[in-house]
Amino acid sequence: MKHNILRVVALIGIAVALLIPIAAYAVDPPDSDPSVSYIKVNRMLLNDDDALIYGDYDLPYGEDYPSDVPASEAYVFRLLDGTDEIGAIRPFVLFDNGYNKGGFSFYFEDGLEWNEPYTIRVSQNPTHFASPESWDFVMLPTAYSTKATQAENQDELTINIIAMAQRLQAAHPLYTLLEDSPGGTVLSSPTGELYFRGIIYGVQAMASALFLVQVLGIGSEEREWTTEQFDEYTQRFADTWVGEGTEAGAEQFGVTPQTFTSLLFVLPVCIGAIILSSMKWKKAEPGFVICFVVILCFAIMGWFPLAVFATLFQLMAIYVGYVVFYARG
């Protein structure tokens, strides 16, 4: 019994050994040498020390590209510093099974030397090629951005991605990668967004303008509330004949200039609006709306007391809550 089991295991091992070469060498050589182009490098996209290397690739197979083995299994892109490999990625598969024209990127949170002549190597996977080859492309100094701030680098990345998307869309006319929006050109949803999220890690945070739906962080810093802006309003007519006149009038009645002007102008207008509204529409709400606008305008002019302004708007909020949640319940 033991010998029979050993024979079965041996036969299975021989069968697997015979079948592996047949299944492995399943990808034909490309029509011509693969290439990379439009290489760009931007930094400070997410933090002060990061860098993004990105560009176009071409694995030329034409319409007869391999359908059984995706390019992500057949090819590897490596970034070399001399003979040392410092990064490796696989093509992102969306159109043409990852072959022909596409985009790629290497992202580094830190450690990338600026203006260095790194080498991008396109390698064939020995599992799928009987005689695997590789092609090297040295990065030129002109690939590195000259922008000095995060905002400038993000803007440049946005422009370069749009240009890349236009090139890829021309190469793959069945796909739409860009679309127009009220805010400008953005990646199409879902194809454009899916593809560039696949080839550039964190692209939505690096180039948020490319996305129709923006992702914004919620501010968590504690805010100190002051009356600084309202105090500026009260000084709007300082050292003018208007300010001198209101101060003189207020002095006669022993009140502040803001109280004097609110009693002289705001109160009569608001009372008149409420009375007119009650007579014409048989309800006071339209008059309250006019009061809201009048009070707000006079506050900005510096002619309304801060304490009264705050109290009235708190009462308005309470009244709105009453109407919405109780009066109609």
* Per-residue pLDDT tens digits for 256-314: 888 888 888 888 988 998 999 899 888 888 888 888 888 888 888 888 888 888 888 88
Distance, CA of 102 to CA of 99 (rounded, Å): 7
Q: Do 168 and 78 sit in the same domain of this protein?
A: yes
Tell whether the model's pLDDT for residue 214 goes beyond 80.
no
| Residue 217 within a domain | no
> Is there a single domain that holds both residue 187 and residue 64?
yes
Same structural domain, 299 and 186 = no
Is 318 within a domain? yes
Residue 277 tokens read as 């509204």
Residue 313 belongs to a domain: yes
Domain boundary among 210, 244, 265: 210
Whether 203 maps to a domain, the answer reads: yes
Confirm whether 194 is domain-assigned. yes
Q: Which two structure tokens, joined as six digits, stand for 204?
A: 């939505």
| Residue 52 pLDDT greater than 90, yes or no | yes
Which structural domain range is residue 277 located in? 228-327
Q: Find residue 79's DSSP bridge partners.
A: 87, 120
**Cβ pair 151, 207 in contact under 8 A:** no
Residue 63 shares a structural domain with residue 116 = yes
Identify whether 294 is part of a domain: yes
How many distinct structural domains can be found in the chain?
A: 2
Query: How many Cα neighbours within 13 Å face the side chain of 255?
Result: 15
Instruction: Specify the pLDDT at position 22.
Output: 45
Percentage above 70 pLDDT, the chain: 90
The pLDDT value recorded for residue 18 is 47
Say if residue 296 is in the same domain as residue 206: no
Residue 160 lies in a domain: yes
Q: Which of 182, 210, 238 is the C-terminal boundary of a domain?
A: 210
Do 196 and 303 reside in the same domain of the chain? no
Q: Do the domain assignments include residue 192?
A: yes
110 backbone dihedrals φ, ψ, rounded to 5°: -165, 175
Say how far residue 55 (Cα) sits from the centre of its chain. 20
Question: Closest Cα partner for 270 from 245, 278, 205?
Answer: 278
SS3 187: strand
